[in-house]
Amino acid sequence: MNVGVVGASGYSGETLVKLLLGHPLVTLGAVTSRQQVGKPLAQVIPALRGADRGLRFVDSNAAALAASDIELFFLALPHGAAATFAKPFIAAGKKVIDLSADFRIADLATYTRYYGDHQAPELLAQARYVLPELAPADWKRFPIVAAPGCYPTSILVPLAPLLRDGVVTREHIVANSFSGVSGAGRKVEGNYLFVERAESATAYGLLKHRHLAEIEEQLALHSGAPTVIQFNPHLAPMRRGIATTITVPAAPGANVDNLYATWHNAYKGRPFIQLLPSGETPDTAFVTGTNRVDLSAVHDVRTGNFVITSALDNLLKGAGGQAVQIMNLWSGFPETTGLV
Ligand SMILES: NC(=O)c1ccc[n+]([C@@H]2O[C@H](COP(=O)([O-])OP(=O)(O)OC[C@H]3O[C@@H](n4cnc5c(N)ncnc54)[C@H](OP(=O)(O)O)[C@@H]3O)[C@@H](O)[C@H]2O)c1
């Protein structure tokens, strides 16, 4: 299969390019960027010296790409821009895996509240949100797949099955997440400079982080009722990785064995979900470079809360790795092809 990455010069795009060049069942036919047009891939991504197969960046020209023989496009673009590329791609019969928020939120009013006007609302009905371990089975017949956000993956994987099985309550859910700075993309902004971020950690986006839209919509789908969550994101002094700690009241009578039984049942045979023993905490150091989510939980009998911890690599299971996992499942390839 011939695939292309639009926005290949960004952090998620670069991650995708590396994975796809090493993937035995696809050919990377196009890597695009507006600013790097004409440059050899390895000049922009020096980690690929000697391994870029002679590829050069082409312009992010939607019409020209739509007319190419690429069958599936990954959109590693900012929200808003992604939808404008999806339009001609879908009209030309291409498949799209979008890493932005443009097709993650089914409810248009919610999207507009968090992200502003949608650039292709008419395509929402043709899109499905696919967190592979949680998505309802019918998603493969839709031409647009929205790959989940990095924070949402770290929260939905542990929480969704617990809400669905009634092991936890729907009230008083608090998620504290710590992200590496690559989560903000390859942009030059004062707050993301080395001097600001090294040796420092801070909360940001309290009460209004955009990922809330997707987290709460998905939790409501899995729990069967509106679900509100206190989401506290933090920037941590690391390049990549997300560590999330969720506190949620246990449902009456539920204990940690019930919680693990639900997880085992939900994730049995899923290669990218690792359940750690209760009391052992996931660590970004051990998931960075992999497509895994590590999970663990303890029950605090003093407060009645479960304290649930997860860790993942924001650029792999939180972005490019999950997108390749989706492509594998969509194309009938083994789920783990090209991934660790
Ligand atoms: N970073 C993460 O951890 C992460 C995780 C999950 C999802 N995501 C999502 O993935 C998408 C990309 O994120 P990123 O962090 O990789 O961003 P990034 O590092 O800032 O890269 C953005 C890419 O898009 C291109 N681009 C920017 N504006 C454009 C426009 N108006 N039209 C066409 N191309 C444009 C840029 O190249 P040129 O300017 O040269 O065209 C670049 O290749 C975002 O929607 C983000 O929310 C990111």
Task: Inform me whether the pLDDT recorded for 106 exceeds 90.
Answer: yes
Sequence-ordered alpha helix ranges (H) in 165-272: 194-197, 211-223, 256-267
Closest atom of ligand 1 to CA, residue 179: 3
Given the residues 8, 144, 150, 316, select the one marked as catalytic: 150
Ligand 1 neighbourhood includes 202 CB (under 6 angstroms):
no
The verdict on whether 102 is a catalytic residue reads no
Q: For residue 295, what are the CA distances in angstroms to 243, 275, 324, 332?
A: 10, 5, 21, 27
User: Cα separation of 128 and 97, whole Å?
Assistant: 10
Task: Inform me whether the pLDDT recorded for 48 exceeds 90.
Answer: yes
What is the per-residue pLDDT for 310? 98
User: Cα separation of 101 and 263, whole Å?
Assistant: 27
Sequence-distant (6+) residues with CB within 8 A of 100 are: 75, 76, 77, 78, 79, 80, 81, 82, 83
User: Which of 64, 53, 67, 135 is closest to 97 using CA atoms?
Assistant: 135
User: Cα separation of 181 and 199, whole Å?
Assistant: 12
For range 63-88, the mean pLDDT: 98
What is the per-residue pLDDT for 243? 98
Residue 279 CA to ligand 1 center (angstroms) comes to 37
Residue 33 CA to ligand 1 center (angstroms) comes to 10
Return the best residue to mutate from 11, 15, 75, 189 for the ligand 1 pocket (most ligand atoms within 8 A of CB): 11
108-115 vs 211-223: helix crossing angle, rounded to 10: 150
For range 195-206, the mean pLDDT: 95
Instruction: Using CB atoms within 10 Å of the CB of residue 42, give its burial: 0 to 12 exposed, 13 to 18 middle, 19+ buried.
Output: middle
Percentages of the chain per state (helix, strand, coil), in multiples of 5: 35, 20, 45
Which residues, in sequence order, are bridge partners of residue 177? 233, 244
Query: Which residue's CA lies nearest to atom 14 of ligand 1?
Result: 185
What is the per-residue pLDDT for 43? 97
Instruction: Please write the tens of the pLDDT for every residue from 254-281.
Output: 999 999 999 999 999 999 999 999 999 9
Residue 172 CA to ligand 1 center (angstroms) comes to 34
For range 71-78, the mean pLDDT: 98
What is the per-residue pLDDT for 187? 86
Residue 34 CA to ligand 1 center (angstroms) comes to 11
Ligand 1 neighbourhood includes 185 CB (under 6 angstroms):
yes
Counting residues of the chain whose pLDDT is more than 70, the rounded percentage is 100
Tokens for 260? 């693990």
Instruction: Using CB atoms within 10 Å of the CB of residue 193, give its burial: 0 to 12 exposed, 13 to 18 middle, 19+ buried.
Output: exposed
Residue scoring higher pLDDT (187 or 140)? 140
User: Which of 36, 49, 54, 44 is closest to 14 using CA atoms?
Assistant: 44
Ligand 1 neighbourhood includes 289 CB (under 6 angstroms):
no
What is the per-residue pLDDT for 95? 98
The whole-chain average pLDDT of the chain stands at 97
Domains and CATH numbers, the chain: 2-147+319-331 (3.40.50.720), 151-312 (3.30.360.10)
User: Which of 56, 264, 40, 26 is closest to 161 using CA atoms?
Assistant: 264
Instruction: Please write the tens of the pLDDT for every residue from 204-250.
Output: 999 999 999 999 999 999 999 999 999 999 999 999 999 999 999 99
pTM: 0.98
